[in-house]
Amino acid sequence: MDYIKKISGIFILAFFGILFAMVSKAELKIPDVEDPAVGLPSIKMPKKSLFNHSVIKLGEKLFFDPFLSINGAVSCATCHIPEQGFTENGKRLSSGVGGKIGQRNTPTLLNIAFAQSMFVDGRAATLEEQAWQPILAHDEMGNSSVSDVLQKLEKKKAYVELFTKAFGLGGLSETNLAISLSAFQRTLISGNSGYDKWYYEGQDDAMNEPAQRGYQLFAGQAQCWQCHSIAGPGVLFSDNQFHNTGVSYRSKKLGLPEDFGRYEATKFEYEKRAFKTPTLRNVAETSPYMHDGSLSTLKEVVQFYNEGESKDPLLSPIMGSLNLSNRDVEDLVEFLRSLSGDQKYTPPSRKEL
């Protein structure tokens, strides 16, 4: 009898557990600006007072709403997919309205709060400056002007109300739309990785032995640290600079379209084919790699660096062959895998937006 009671008790508990999981809402997590997570620096905020629940919630809705595109089919999340590290796995180049293929691979938005410039060529300085570009790009969301988009939103009572709640009367504006999209993206932080627990908290078993050997290579013989910086109490594995690593030169040889990278933004000859050093946090979740998605796996990336031979006359002087053994390559890959954070963002359901 007791036994049956126990079993049915477990079933009842399990039933309510599942029910709870089904109805529980995706809750918006607002990070602590001063101390967002182990391994990360503080978040620099243009206007702290606007980093509040109403502004962020509105930004989240805008981010997931295909209404923002010319044909109602493409949202920011179409390309920046939350479950795929806010990128698109398996897709070399992004595609927007009407299936138009873009020129670049979709980068992650995790930890974008810490980036010191936007886009692989750094052509926008801040998230706020960046926000309207995809909305207006013909191969992304395809709108013809800012005023078209604002007029469209003005006809939606729900949006007018949300903008008013977040910014006060007359809150629906070009600037405020950018502010709210940016505020939402600044909540997408991801630290507390295996590496962070091992390095900053001294947990020996947070990173396996191959990954620990990989770290020694990363910080030594393999020279990765020179651009993917690791010094300091909080790191993003990026120096926020632009370097020519020979990727674009290689791609051109393979018959892929040539991309001048940083040169597109500055027109400085010496910056041709230089690209922003991307963060390596969560990199295991964001394949394929590089500005054009031309390398599919982390192993291919490390092998690319190991060869290091490029005939590009503008190649960064830091680049060169590394003489890594097969085991070294595996160890470096294992290290890169330990850089995924433990905070998971749960996207809201359509009803919750």
Nearer of residues 17 and 257 to ligand HEC, judged by Cβ? 257
Contact letters for ligand HEC, residues 152-191 (x by CB under 6 A) = -----------------------------x---x------
* SS3 assignment, position 250: helix
Q: Is 61 a residue that touches ligand HEC (CB under 6 A)?
A: no
Q: Is 301 a residue that touches ligand HEC (CB under 6 A)?
A: yes
Contacts with ligand HEC in 89-108 (CB under 6 A)?
Answer: 94, 96, 102, 104, 106-107
The Cα 251–Cα 259 span in angstroms is 9
Q: How many CA atoms lie within 13 A of 311 on its CB side?
A: 4
Q: Is 213 a residue that touches ligand HEC (CB under 6 A)?
A: no
Q: Is 140 a residue that touches ligand HEC (CB under 6 A)?
A: yes
Q: Is 332 a residue that touches ligand HEC (CB under 6 A)?
A: yes
Min dist. Cβ of residue 111 to ligand HEC (A): 9
Min dist. Cβ of residue 59 to ligand HEC (A): 8
Nearer of residues 8 and 144 to ligand HEC, judged by Cβ? 144
Binders of ligand HEC: how many residues, by CB under 6 A?
53
- Yes or no: say if 336 and 213 are a contact pair by the CB < 8 Å rule: no
Q: Is 222 a residue that touches ligand HEC (CB under 6 A)?
A: yes
φ/ψ of residue 289, rounded to 5: -115, 165
Neighbours of 107 (CB within 10 A): 22
The Cα 249–Cα 345 span in angstroms is 36
Nearer of residues 166 and 319 to ligand HEC, judged by Cβ? 319
- Yes or no: say if 218 and 290 are a contact pair by the CB < 8 Å rule: no
* Integer-rounded Cα radius of gyration of the chain: 22
Contact letters for ligand HEC, residues 246-275 (x by CB under 6 A) = -x---------------------------x
CA proximity to 44, closest of 326, 236, 316: 236
Q: Is 226 a residue that touches ligand HEC (CB under 6 A)?
A: yes
Helical (H) or strand (E) element with 210: helix 209-218
Q: Bridge partners of 170?
A: none
